[in-house]
Amino acid sequence: MSRFVLRRIFASLHEQPPPISRRVFSSSHQKPLPKPQPSTNNNPLKSSRPNSQSSITRNASLLRAMANTAHMDLLTFFYPIGNTPAVSLTRDIPRETKANVLSLGCGDARNILYTTHVAGSTSPMDITCCDIESLVITRNILLFTLILDYGGNRIKDIWDIYYHLFIGPKALALLESQTTRLLAVSDSLESWHASNYGKRLRFCDSSSFFRSEKDLEQSFDQIQRAKDLRHYYIGEKFVFTGMRSAAPLNREAVQDLAKQHKHFWDTGSTDKPNANSAAMPNPMFTSQLNKSSILHYGTDPLLGFHLATAYASLVPQPTSDPHAHAFLQSSAHNLVRAARQQFQAWCKSFRKHAGIMVLRFFVGEALAFCHALQQRKKGIAVGPYRKPGTFETILLNSEDYLPVVTAPMSFSVINTSNLVDHVGAINLLIATSPLLDDNLFATLYTESLVNQEKDHSTLAESFLCGNVSTMSVLLGIFPTDYWTNVVPISTADEAILNTARRRLGDKLSSDYIYSRLS
């Protein structure tokens, strides 16, 4: 971890901000910049080529995968917390087989924690994490070190540090002491790797270690602007995104999820009303990627957990009790309690099995990192540019990559989150498929939150921009969900979610549907 970055956290903890009112979030909102409208100009080729329009129509899916003109992001969102339920990264790997995992667009730590909880001690893991936002990586490293040092002893304070926009004095003191402890071993990349943390938490290059000077400058305005955007996009409407986390008990959770989401954005905390003593904006939610980078308006700490347990008892009820039933009393706090219980169990499992795990971190664009790994396999040390808008090339100069490569260069699992929605499936597959191990269980996972097709039956062809059989042969990968006609999530749940949105007049209802392909 960068010594400079940690000093910025440490400095922010000692600042004396003016008294903070929870109502600071209720100021007049600022509308985001309008989306650029499509051009109404006619195609200049149309007059000279009468058949060009039909040709473009036939190849529309292919054109979507081609390179486009570079653009500037006028507004970017910071995603510190995942918005889909946690999944096991090693679910398709034979037990007792070492798992080399590449997590692109890794986001928060939910998938890693859940994977260690499910896999236990049967499968050694080496997980390489990549994210373009350095603060995401820093937050995860801080969480992992807190778990390694404290386990489940201070789970409430660890939860607050990782998930709350505001933290109280106990969590603040823990964050300060942990920052001081990390600073002591952060003189250089070599000193970090030589520390007790560096044995399990490693960096792929020195730039990732020393990066993100501006990321951790505390800025209350970022939370303020996120609140304003949330009011613009959501207003007083119910938020249904969490319904997929409560499956299959979606209907039981719909009211409580909306209440809890509103409570979190009103108070910056998941604690019960009148029970929260938080007074300090959490430095771990600060993002200074640029002045237009703000906390996403849909951020919700509960979305990464499996919330059905809040309504269905996991303990068998006595059959002799005439009033026994499987469903618990409806309460928004039941959701928080269920999520915290899972978080505590996952943290304990992570600490228990940390001895068979290695986590590696890289800050940069996912496709660039994949191409850098491909070149390193060929003996080329310098890779492409780290991310758009910079001239810094990727140099994997960690001792794990130079002079002798000891880190994994091919992987049995590659998880790409929902990057397919941002970079396109063809671009993603070309960058990632050469990094898969040459065995039968090597798997590439993709997720999508954008409704590209009317139904799931045509999703595979849309992703691959052509005939599935042909594209599978060309790319050397085979979508098992397509060939087996089985998907790991219920499409009925997503249909119910979209129906509820449309009935309540949600203009965004037709744009989002959660799907996975492997």
Tens-level pLDDT at each residue, the chain (518 residues) = 555 445 555 454 554 444 333 322 223 333 343 444 444 444 333 333 334 343 333 444 434 444 455 566 666 788 888 888 899 999 989 888 899 999 999 989 999 999 999 988 777 999 999 999 888 998 899 999 999 999 778 999 999 889 988 777 888 888 888 888 887 888 888 888 999 999 999 999 888 877 633 443 343 344 444 445 445 444 455 454 555 555 555 555 555 666 666 666 667 676 766 555 556 777 777 644 455 567 777 788 888 888 887 777 665 544 444 433 433 445 667 888 888 999 999 999 999 999 999 999 999 999 999 999 999 988 888 889 998 888 899 999 999 998 888 999 999 999 999 898 888 889 999 999 999 999 888 999 988 877 666 666 677 777 778 888 888 888 888 888 778 877 766 666 666 666 666 665 555 444 456 667 77
Closest CA to 114 of 416, 345, 441: 345
pLDDT value of residue 309: 76
Which SS3 state, helix, strand or coil, does residue 459 take? helix
pLDDT value of residue 442: 92
Do 463 and 437 form a contact (C-beta atoms < 8 A)? Answer: no
- 115: Cβ–Cβ under 8 A, 6 or more apart, which residues? 88, 89, 90, 125
Do 218 and 281 form a contact (C-beta atoms < 8 A)? Answer: yes
What is the maximal distance between C-alpha atoms in the chain?
82
Instruction: Identify whether 491 is part of a domain.
Output: no
Do 459 and 416 form a contact (C-beta atoms < 8 A)? Answer: no
pLDDT value of residue 456: 61
Instruction: Identify whether 50 is part of a domain.
Output: no
Which SS3 state, helix, strand or coil, does residue 77 take? strand
Instruction: Identify whether 467 is part of a domain.
Output: no
Instruction: Identify whether 433 is part of a domain.
Output: yes
373-380: long-range contacts at Cβ-Cβ below 8 A with a sequence spacing of 24 or more? 373/409, 373/435, 374/431, 374/434, 374/435, 376/401, 376/405, 376/409, 377/409, 377/410
Residue 198's domain comprises 3-14+75-450
Predicted model pTM: 0.75
pLDDT value of residue 381: 81
C-alpha Rg value of the chain to the nearest Å? 23
What's the number of domains the chain is made of? Answer: 1
Instruction: Identify whether 53 is part of a domain.
Output: no
Instruction: Identify whether 297 is part of a domain.
Output: yes
* Angle formed at CA 110 by CA 401 and CA 85, multiple of 5 degrees: 130
pLDDT value of residue 486: 77
Instruction: Identify whether 303 is part of a domain.
Output: yes
Instruction: Identify whether 341 is part of a domain.
Output: yes
Beta strands in 182-313, from DSSP E residues, in sequence order: 201-203, 280-281, 293-295
